[in-house]
Structure formats: C-alpha cells, structure tokens
Amino acid sequence: MATILTDLKETFRKGNIYIQLIYINAGIFIFTTLLEVMLKLFNRSLGALFEWLELPASFTRLLIQPWSILTYMFMHAGLMHILFNMLWLYWFGALFLNFFSAKHLRGVYILGGICGGMLYMLAYNVFPYFSPMIEYSFMLGASASVLAIVAATAYREPNYPIRMLFIGTIRLKYLALIVIGTDLLFITSNNAGGHLAHLGGALGGLWFAARLSKGTDLTSWINKCLDALVSLFSFKSRKPKMNVHYGTNRQKDYDYNAKKKDQTEEIDRILDKLKKSGYESLTTEEKKSLFDASKR
C-alpha cells in the first residue's frame, strides 16, 4: 500500500498540470464517495454538508459560502459525471499545452470555472423561468473549466483536426460550436445549470485567448494567488540554496550560468514577439523553444 501511495505521489509530482488537476478531482471524488458510503451504513448522509462546497444559485447563500465559487469545480455527482469531465480534460489539456503554457492551463481552469459559475447564478436570478428554483439549486462539476480549455484552444487553432469515433476527422472550431450549440438548446432542461455553466466557461476561455493574442494575460492574477497559496503551505525551507564549487568546477559553473542566461534572453525575445505579432508570426524553432520552456 505504501508503495502505491509513493508511486501516485511521484506521478502527481512529475505529471503535467492537466494530470495534476485530474488527480486532484479524482482524489476528492474518491474521498467524498467513500465517506458517503461509510455514513450510509449508519443511516447518515453528508448531503447537507456537501452543499457548502457546491455553488448555490442564490447570491444570498453565496455570501455565506464564498469559497464555493472555487470548490464546486472540483466536486462531482457520480462516476460518469467525473469520468467524462476528466476524459475531456485529459484530451484537450494535452492539446492546450501545444499552444499555451502550463500556468495558462491552470489559470484557465479556474477562470473558466468562475465565469461558468457566475453565468449560472446570473441566469437563475435574472430569468423568471428559474425563479422557483433559486433557493434549492446548487451546481457542481469541472465541465465549465474544461469547456474553457476547449474554447481557448479552438480560438488559437480553429482548424486543428480532431479525430472522432464514428464521425471521422473534424476541425476543432466545429467541435466547439457543436458543444456550445447543444448547451444553448438545452438551457431549459433538467440540467439547466450545467448547460449555463458550460456556456460561461466557453466564454471565459474565448475571452482569455482573445486577450492573450493582444498581449494581456487574464490568468496572471489567478496564478499569482495560487503561487502565493502554494508558497504559504509549502514545508520546504525558504532559505536560499548555497552552492559551493571548487577547482575546475568554477569554469563549468560559469559555462552553465552563461548558457542559462542566453536561454532566458531568447525566451524573453520570443514572448515579446508573441505579444506584438501573435502566435502565427513565430518560426517552427521559436514555437518549439517556447513549448520546451513551458514544460520546465
């Protein structure tokens, strides 16, 4: 058992950001499901407690549980719910990293979840159709976050070919339009909140990609907050590392530092070019350098 846990921790540590997000979602789902099963054996339920982690449709209730705008996007209602969301995150997370950085993916996941949650709440409080449901409606799931990743990738590379089972190859922009169109058709269905959240997440992803092409990163504040949070709860020593080198190692150290400096300057140059002229202006070698740097 200890070996399995060690392997899982090592896979999480070395995995890409979308793998880490999948691990987090799966871990929360397994923990909450096992806890619910144990309590049911004693005729108890955690349903009321879980509502404090789900996103309410009521703005009044949100004021009581403001954290739910973040926690809801890591909660799932059942096995099929989390399975499909994580499959989409796995497929499009890998594709997203071909064109954006790992920190962008992390930020878009949160940004899409927030946008999806806000559109869901606004719709329920604006349209009379949803008025009778406001007080007892809650939402959960990562689908808004995942749709943001899909939409951002589709905006950047609209003609990217996607192979679909039984359908064949379809361009990414058409796949995104089909998904968004389906959500529009079913916003008055039994899962109205979910479809509204999908639309909000997709809009968040498009917003991010459009602004990034003009040099503005909408996820920068999210990543700064997450980095500060990770630093706050990190148990690693914050003292600067001291490297001592002797004899012939000095020349090796000098060569390494010079090479590192050149690489940093080259990445800065590519990022400046990306902001000014867009992704398509980069050469194949520049795209590869940027992609390699994003995975370090």
Letter for the amino acid at 40? Answer: K
User: Global pTM?
Assistant: 0.76
Nearest to 185 by CA among 175, 196, 200: 196
pLDDT at 246: 46
pLDDT at 239: 52
Tell me which architecture the domain covering 2-229 has in CATH.
Up-down Bundle (1.20)
pLDDT at 94: 94
Nearest to 172 by CA among 161, 183, 184: 161
Q: Which residues of the chain have pLDDT under 70?
A: 1-2, 4-5, 7-8, 10-11, 14, 234-259, 261-262, 276, 279, 290-291, 294-296
Quickly list DSSP for 251-284: HHHHHHHHHHHHHHHHHHHHHHHHHHH-GGGS-H
- What H or E segment, with its residue span, contains residue 164? strand 161-164
Instruction: Delimit the domains of the chain by residue range.
Output: 2-229, 249-294
Burial of 191 (0-12, 13-18, 19+ CB in 10 A): middle
